[in-house]
């Protein structure tokens, strides 16, 4: 997308290295930076990060996880960009959800929206493990459709589809496994992953909710990982 827009793309290192990214910020004068919240926190805490901000930056964009109001404010105070944005995408499809940069983003319980459905795409919030659409404000699994979504997985010269794909009324849909809520205005909020669901004693436990409680209760915590063995 960067190249199609006629822009240059900076590869700071062969793999993620916070020092290399901070060095690129200090020397390349980029206008945009995009990363996950955990990577963003590693940059903000790096000793070479400039306390004077980065005047060239226009947009700081995050995605791939929930983004808190505290992290957005920290980005504003340190990077000092024109815009801090959040979005949603995955390997199977990008450019599906986002917020126009001229709009004020929506918040829900202290977390930033991943946006509205973008032109050309379609989304549904469905009851988990079904294709039944739930009402707005009801949690469910995000299903996506559109030309941005892949048609299947390549296996040699063939394209195969697993149970995450289904067709409905001439459209191909993909079950993302992401737990979301869509509010009455059409803003979508990421709440966790159904595929990460912990089942204990017949009760469904969402790791994202545990992480949210730990983040709120333990000041100074930067990255939380939950699991079940």
DSSP 132-197: PBPPTTS-EEEEEESTTB-S-EEETTEEE--TTEEEETTEEEEEEEEEEEE-TTS-EEEEEEGGG-
Report the relative pairing of strands 165-168 and 88-90 from DSSP bridges: unpaired
CATH of the domain at 18: 3.40.50.980
Mean residue pLDDT of the chain comes to: 86
C-beta neighbour count of 137 within 10 angstroms: 10
Domain boundary among 46, 63, 86: 86
Least confident of 52-66, 88-102, 120-134: 88-102
Domain boundary among 86, 103, 128: 86
Q: Among 75, 49, 45, which Cα is nearest to 62's?
A: 75
Domain boundary among 37, 63, 86: 86
Q: Is residue 144 part of a domain?
A: no
Q: Is residue 23 part of a domain?
A: yes
Q: Is residue 153 part of a domain?
A: no
Per residue in 128-179, pLDDT tens? Answer: 989 999 999 999 999 999 998 999 998 888 889 999 999 999 999 999 999 9
How far is Cα of residue 128 from the mean position of the Cα atoms in its chain?
Answer: 20
The pTM score is 0.74
Structural domains in the chain (count): 2
Can you give the residue range of the structural domain that contains 219? 197-229
Q: Is residue 115 part of a domain?
A: no
Q: Is residue 117 part of a domain?
A: no
Give me the pLDDT at residue 192, please.
82
C-beta neighbour count of 27 within 10 angstroms: 9
């Amino acid at each position: 997308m960067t190249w199609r827009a006629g822009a240059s793309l900076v590869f700071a290192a062969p793999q993620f290295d916070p020092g290399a990214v901070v060095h690129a910020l200090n020397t390349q004068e980029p206008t945009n930076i995009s990363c996950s919240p955990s990577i963003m926190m590693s940059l903000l805490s790096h000793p070479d990060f400039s306390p004077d901000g980065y005047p060239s930056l226009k947009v700081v964009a995050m995605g791939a996880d929930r983004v808190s109001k505290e992290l957005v404010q920290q980005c504003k105070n340190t990077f000092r960009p024109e815009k801090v944005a959040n979005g949603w995408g995955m390997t199977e499809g990008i450019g599906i959800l986002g917020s126009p940069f001229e709009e004020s983003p929506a918040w829900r319980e202290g977390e930033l929206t991943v946006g509205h459905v973008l032109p050309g795409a379609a989304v549904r919030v469905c009851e988990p493990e079904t294709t039944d659409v739930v009402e707005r404000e009801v949690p469910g699994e995000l299903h996506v459709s559109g030309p941005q979504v892949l048609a299947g997985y390549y296996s040699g010269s063939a394209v195969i589809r697993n149970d995450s794909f289904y067709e409905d009324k001439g459209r191909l849909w993909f079950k993302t496994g992401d737990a979301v809520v869509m509010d009455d205005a059409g803003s979508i909020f990421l709440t966790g992953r159904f595929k990460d669901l912990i089942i204990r004693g017949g009760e469904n436990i969402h790791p994202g909710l545990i992480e949210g409680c730990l983040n709120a209760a333990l000041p100074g915590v930067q990255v939380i990982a939950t699991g079940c063995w």
